[in-house]
Amino acid sequence: MTQRMTELVASGVCRRKWLFGLAGSLAWQVLGLPKAFGQAGSAGLHAGIAPPSLAAEKVRQLLQAKFSVRKITRGPRFHWFGYYDKWQFDPTDRYLLGMEVTFDLRSPRPEDEIRIGMIDTAEGDRWIELDKSSAWCWQQGCMLQWLPGSQSEIIWNDRSRDGYVSHILDVKTGRKRTLPLPVYAVSPDSRWAVTLDFRRLAHARPGYGYAGFPDPFAHIPAPAESGIWWMDLVTGDHRLVISLADLAAIPFPKEENSRATHWFNHLLVSPGGERFVFLHRWRQPGASRWLTRMVTAGPDGSGLRILDDNGVTSHFIWRDASHILAWSGREAPGAFYVFADTPERQVQLVYTHVDGHCSYLPGGEWIVCDTYPDADRLQHVYLYHVPSGQKVPVGSFYSPPQFAGEWRCDTHPRVSRSGKWICIDSPDEKEGRQMLLIDLSPIWEA
């Protein structure tokens, strides 16, 4: 089944370890980076040159298209990137960030350390080791990402003796600095970030927080001391801008939730940096499922808007500075809607489909998304053409049954800066969790 569903093109180049420890001009020699590294202009979440606009007939012809798939990491160690809403590709589309670990199929422990690095797709998919982290999870890794607007800086979370922190590293010069809080989502100008309490997240939603520090408010349904923090990425100054108590005090129309355990998840800053979106979730005592509402606010926590309060909101992405594409259970069986982040809060149905991890290609004409495993354990990656309402299959990838629950391996399609590539995580039956690069040339050449 796996061979039939997945065409993998291996580079055949042996993986080599590269030391990273020198700053300044020597870092180029240590990393083996060309001097042209990072020279392309930076872009926001949806920037870049858009694929050609296609008529419905051209889109129908793409239904038979073959998308080339290449495995860019290999065993014996396991590799993945994590979430779909972070910049994995550098501004040139040449270097892809990733994480490396020596084990799989169990929960991380405080002593477990991962290596972070990048893959040079122009040199046989060479793995370049950069640093390490002790603050990570299977679903979202250590929030590793390229800093928006930067040609060569990355940011990720780690654990110190006293708490969770974040690091910024310039992969060109080797300069590294540490910030006092971890990050969740970074502003488009890289001046600030928003973050949450990863101790609370680990307690309330295993698989998304980090192992290492217990939640000091585990016994409190909605603590006023825990919530969302704003942090200056230059100075490290930070402050709590929205508490769990703040959101829990806003009545939910379908049930009383004062005794429920509340938490925040999935923060994402708008492309213009004026607002950010997050999910407020809670679980009643003894319940196996949680309820959700999607909320937006200004960077300082002001201007709260509840955009979706039906109780079932899942994955989302900003379409532009004032609209969010999100999967919602507003009407059965659930669908993708565009929510206007305005006082009027208009909602528009985009298409009905099972839940998945959604992103826009540059231009907004195409949505790339995926599915969870079906009855045959296949995860489907597809493109949705918004103007014509047609879905174009990209590939189907087998996920062995042991990849389930907390250590499942969602594909999480990440779009390159140019929009010409996507990268996914997929568990190979022989080499385990690895990363695959998919060429979207068919839609660019149609």
Condensed to tens digits (0 to 9), the pLDDT of residues 113-135 reads 999 999 999 999 999 999 999 99
Whether residue 434 has pLDDT greater than 80 = yes
Q: Is the Cβ–Cβ distance between 368 and 413 less than 8 Å?
A: yes
For 86, the domain range is: 2-445
Write out the two tokens for 38.
């990072």
What's the pTM value of the predicted model, to 2 decimals? 0.90
Domain total for the chain? 1
Average pLDDT over residues 270-274: 97
Could you tell me which residue, 290 or 36, shows the higher pLDDT?
A: 290
Condensed to tens digits (0 to 9), the pLDDT of residues 394-426 reads 999 999 999 999 999 999 999 999 999 999 999
Sheet of 176-179: strand order equals 145-146, 153-159, 164-170, 176-179
Q: What is the CATH number of the domain that holds 408?
A: 2.130.10.10
The predicted pLDDT at position 47 comes to 61
Residue 126: beta bridge partners? 120
The pLDDT confidence band at residue 48, using thresholds 50, 70 and 90, is confident
CA atoms within 13 A on the CB side of 209: 19
How open is the CA angle 184-188-191, to the nearest 5 degrees? Answer: 75
